[in-house]
Amino acid sequence: MAEFDVEGMFRSLDTDRANVVWKWKLLEELRQAGLRADDPRVQRAVTWTLDAGAPFEPGQPEWLDRDQFAAVVREPVIARALQGDLAVSPAEFAELSRGVEQIYADLRDERSGEVAQYIPTLRDADPERFGIAICTADGQVFQVGDATTAFSVQSTSKPFSYAMALEQQGAPEVHRWIGQEQSGGTFNDPRLSLDANGKPQNPMINAGAMATLALVEPDADVSERFAKVEQTWTRMMGEAPGFDHRTFLAERDTGHGNRGLANLMAAKEMLNVDPRDRDAPQKTAEFYFAVCSLEVDATRLAAAGATLANGGVSPYTGERVFSAETAGRVLSVMGHSGMYNDSGKFADAVGLPAKSGVSGNVMMVVPDQRLAVVTFSPRLDEAGNSVRGVEVCQRLVNDFGLHPFKSLGAERGVEMSDAARRAFDGVSRPGTGSTGRYQAPAPGAKTATRAGELQL
């Protein structure tokens, strides 16, 4: 990053030549770069600086003099935002935000699918809820709709539980207990979840998630183990998750199949528990129910996804939560097994790592662009994935040329249109039909350039 010209930036924001920068003007500039006014880094820098100065009269607009402005821009993310040096440039972030807003508008009338029926809290969810949130590696956020509506994370906890186990035990030990292949069945299929030796097929199915959590702080009391999980989520998101007590109690009362899987693994000595503790499999299942009952929203979950997109570094704190190797392993498994029994179809259509939960959330990570997209919409398809969530992922990939494989070599022999040149350095946004759903281009139509050329 080039040396920051504090005086030059101060003058550019002092538009009325009053030798001050109005607080609202600075926050608007940061907003256009993707940083929200309630971003903890922005709040900390601006609030602390103003609090240290002379108080303002009630109702008086707040402003920063030169010295105060210089203090505020010592916060690195603010300096980089004002220079346009964040993960996504302001112009591109605005273009991406407009695209997401259009996708949201197009899909609001999509009402296919049904909410999950197997526990009351999911069955009673408002099926009309729909929100989308984006978070980049630098904490740039765009949200629309019900992006701050809380939901239980459910199976989208699995990638992060896997990451915790990898960090604590290392990959060889983790994969002594859990496989790395697709199961070929649903997430809770007792026939296909385990191989002949009782080993779960991968960490993204229920059996694999329970085996994974059995490796997280295995020697500690369950309360300490759960506290470790909560702390990891807090480090990723910049704030603590909630906890959905009703969902936990409902899952505990109805989770007989999961307890059965835990017992099967324990019987084959493929669950890392004390064999002398006959209640250990049930305790493992209940630990899993508790982790699935962590409460987040689309915006906070997008920050967790951005941690993976950023190689394990939290977007808000800059703290390394996971190693880059761990983040890569997690994204790889999400890529082939993250979307239940439609994972192969999703990989073909979207080509990016994603994970879904039956509360209606879908988290998709775009590693090349260092960002994550999360949707929340409770109506599910037959595989258990959010109908709108899957459609959002497909639309984003198609509209912005983000599929990592399908546009390989597209720039060779294809002349870009003027519209393509104007949008995202040559990545055009295909039109939508009268229904608002994405329509694939006709055979022979011009295609988008490579996703890797996107300067997001």
Residues annotated in a binding site: 155, 206, 251, 258, 288, 340, 358
Helix (H/G/I), strand (E/B), else coil: 243: strand
303 token code pair: 């920050």
Helix (H/G/I), strand (E/B), else coil: 310: coil
- Residue 154's CB is within 10 A of a number of other CB atoms, namely 24
d(CA 373, CA 97): 11
Residues 6+ apart with CB under 8 A from 430: 398, 399, 438, 439, 440, 441
Which helix or strand (DSSP H or E) is residue 354 part of? strand 354-357
262: burial class by Cβ within 10 Å (0-12, 13-18, 19+)? buried
Check residue 368 and report its DSSP letter. G
d(CA 285, CA 255): 8
Which helix or strand (DSSP H or E) is residue 76 part of? helix 76-82
CA distances from 368 to 255, 292, 311, 408 (A): 38, 28, 11, 14
Helix axes 206-213, 280-292, angle to 10 degrees: 100
d(CA 269, CA 169): 18
d(CA 237, CA 81): 20
38: burial class by Cβ within 10 Å (0-12, 13-18, 19+)? exposed
Give me the helices (H) in 189-244, please: 206-213, 222-237
Check residue 389 and report its DSSP letter. H
Which helix or strand (DSSP H or E) is residue 135 part of? strand 131-136
Per the annotation, binding residues for substrate are 155, 206, 251, 258, 288, 340, 358
